[in-house]
Amino acid sequence: MSRILVIEDQSDIRRLIRWALEDENHEMFEAADGHQGLAAARAVDPHLILLDVTMPGELNGFQVCEQLRADPGLRHKPVVMLTGRARERDRDAADRAGADAFIPKPFSRAELLATINRLVVEAAPVQAATTAASPG
């Protein structure tokens, strides 16, 4: 079972994602802002992170992604940016922050699941090697 961390301030979006994942082989964890998300990522050790771009508080999604990429224990975790702002400069900012994928809102269940499943499979060998190399 894959652990998916959803960092999203809107409870209705988290509910839609939970609904999309409920019949899949994924366990969902939630955080409502960037600081909670970073703490949850360290605690949960997710296989993939779904990250909203626009959130309240000090950290937006791009900043959270940059911090995930700077953390040796999390840098190999796939990050999918979710946003209602799908302009080219937003995609470029997601790339610069280190995101693995960019999904504009509203998104379809099929698109979300295809992206999650592809990235979890692609990341599995890297995450297994990282886990094996970590002191336990």
Angle between helices 88-97 and 61-70 (to 10 degrees): 20
Structural domains of the chain sorted by starting position, each given as residue range(s) with its CATH number in brackets: 2-133 (3.40.50.2300)
pLDDT for 12-46, tens place per residue?
Answer: 999 999 999 998 989 999 999 999 999 999 999 99
pTM for the predicted model, two decimal places: 0.93
Question: Is the Cα dihedral 55, 110, 122, 40 positive or negative?
Answer: positive
pLDDT for residue 136? 52
* CB-neighbour burial class of residue 133 (10 A; exposed 0-12, middle 13-18, buried 19+): exposed
Q: Could you say which DSSP state residue 60 is in?
A: -
